[in-house]
């Protein structure tokens, strides 16, 4: 028997209407907001395959969406040859949205990417299908003295969710150190939200800008720790030396090249592989799709 995830299901795709599509200062990053619905006349296949832009007859479904930090959703779409494709995305956890069956995803559009080409064509009012949530990383309260989070690009979203869930828990004693890497200042995702986490005693962060010089004209917030360099072995070694008791765990989330580099630096600095977790959505998505096909 499937657990109750509200308006979402792990075993079947559920319809959501796009309520808004927002552009950001980085041209390749868009923010999609979805609302749960029930379709009244058209079938799931009809809405998706025919790509109907009009006459979608649905009712808004304001029921809670149950999802936790470390979990993600899967959506499906059509590529340019009208073949079905799927992709995993982590929603930004906002309680005020989730209780109404609404969620937000931040998407980095990749040039010539199959899912990116599909998403670029979507507008408010279109129906998109999602299933989940699926858990890739499970964190138990006070599991570690320190949690080291390393994010690259949109990989910040699952790590922000984890950091937020820890800092907002009064019973938590875990310290969180977040290191996030972006191409430019304009590419920084969830910037305001991350800065607000600094109000908590057990959170600190640094933003690393890899493709922009410090002399470039931009605005830095008060006390905002922005460094114009890549996260390298020296950065990680310095942080590990600050951890006196050695009870720490590292979580890495980003593009494959970023994940591989950070994992290598961590190992070179003496961390054990069993104290490192890397989000690998693509491998999980392939395994899950294969399971559903075989069953």
**Spatial separation of the C-alpha atoms in residues 65 and 82, rounded to whole Å:** 30
**Spatial separation of the C-alpha atoms in residues 74 and 90, rounded to whole Å:** 9
List helix spans (H) across the chain.
44-50, 95-98, 114-120, 156-167, 191-196, 233-242, 256-268, 281-294
Handedness of CA 38, 41, 45, 48 (dihedral sign): negative
Distance of CA 136 to the CA centre of its chain: 12
* 1 appears as a binding residue in the annotation: no
- Coil vs helix vs strand at 129: strand
Label residue 39 left, alpha or beta by phi (over 0 means left) and psi (-120 to 50 means alpha): beta
Residue listed under structure tokens 């830095």: 220
* 115 appears as a binding residue in the annotation: yes
* 106 appears as a binding residue in the annotation: yes
DSSP letter at 201 equals T
Taking CA atoms, 225 is separated from 77, 177, 222, in Å, by 39, 12, 9
* 89 appears as a binding residue in the annotation: yes
* 87 appears as a binding residue in the annotation: yes
Q: Which of 100, 69, 105 is nearest to 88 (CA)?
A: 105
* 72 appears as a binding residue in the annotation: no
**Spatial separation of the C-alpha atoms in residues 16 and 156, rounded to whole Å:** 24
**Spatial separation of the C-alpha atoms in residues 245 and 146, rounded to whole Å:** 9
Structure tokens at 42: 């058209």
Give the DSSP H or E segment for 211.
none
Distance of CA 213 to the CA centre of its chain: 27
Binding annotation: 87, 89, 106, 114-116
Binding annotation for FAD: 87, 89, 106, 114-116
């Amino acid at each position: 028997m499937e657990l109750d995830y509200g308006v979402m299901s792990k075993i079947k795709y559920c319809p959501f209407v796009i309520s808004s599509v927002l552009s950001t200062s980085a041209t390749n990053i868009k923010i999609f907001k979805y609302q749960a619905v029930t379709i009244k006349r058209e079938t799931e296949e009809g809405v998706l395959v025919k790509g109907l832009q009009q006459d979608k007859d649905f009712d808004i479904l304001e029921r809670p969406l149950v999802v936790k930090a470390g979990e993600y959703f899967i959506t499906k779409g059509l590529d340019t040859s009208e073949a079905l494709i799927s992709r995993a995305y982590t929603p930004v956890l906002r309680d005020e949205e989730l209780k109404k069956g609404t969620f937000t995803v931040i998407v980095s559009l990749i040039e010539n990417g199959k899912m990116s080409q599909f998403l670029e064509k979507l507008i408010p009012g279109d129906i998109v299908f999602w299933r989940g949530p699926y858990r890739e990383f499970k964190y138990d309260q006070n599991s570690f003295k320190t949690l080291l989070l390393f994010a690259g690009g949109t990989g910040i979203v699952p790590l922000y969710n984890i950091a937020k869930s820890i800092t907002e828990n009064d019973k938590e004693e875990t310290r969180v150190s977040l290191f996030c890497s972006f191409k430019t200042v304009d590419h920084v995702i969830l910037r305001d939200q991350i800065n607000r986490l600094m109000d908590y005693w057990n959170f600190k962060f640094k933003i690393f800008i890899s493709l922009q010089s410090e002399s470039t004209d931009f605005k830095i917030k008060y006390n905002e720790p922005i460094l114009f360099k890549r996260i390298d072995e020296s950065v990680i070694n310095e942080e590990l030396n600050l951890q006196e008791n050695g009870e720490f765990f590292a979580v890495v989330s980003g593009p494959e090249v970023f994940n591989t580099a950070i994992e290598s630096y961590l190992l070179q600095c003496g961390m054990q592989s069993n104290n490192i977790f890397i989000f690998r959505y693509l491998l999980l998505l392939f395994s899950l799709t294969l399971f559903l096909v075989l069953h």
